Chains A and B, each alone.
Chain A
Amino acid sequence: MKITYPYMSNSHIAIKNLFEGLGNEVVPPPKPSKLTLSYGTKYAPEFACFPFKILLGTYIEALEMGADTIVSTGGVGPCRAGLYTTLQEKILRSLGYEFEMITLEPPGRYLGDLIKKIKRLINRRISLIELAGLIRFVWEQLKLLDEAEMTSFKIRPREIKKGETTRAYRKAVELIARARSIEDLKEIRNEIKKIYGAVDRKEDFDPIKIALVGEIYVVMEPTANLEIEETLGELGVYAERSMFFTHYTLANAVTDLFHLTGEKNVKKAAVPYFNEMCGGHGRESVGNAILYAKKGFDGLIHLAPFTCIPEIVAKSVLPAVEEKYGIGILSITIDEQTGKAGLQTRLEAFVDLLARKREKRRKGNIA
Chain B
Amino acid sequence: MTAILLGIAITVAQITLGLALACAAFRFVRGPRAQDRILGLDAFYVNAMLLLLTFGIQTSRTVYFEAALVISLLGFVGTVALAKFLMRGEVIE
Q: Do A and B come from one complex?
A: no
Residues of A within 8 A of B (CB): none
Residues of B within 8 A of A (CB): none
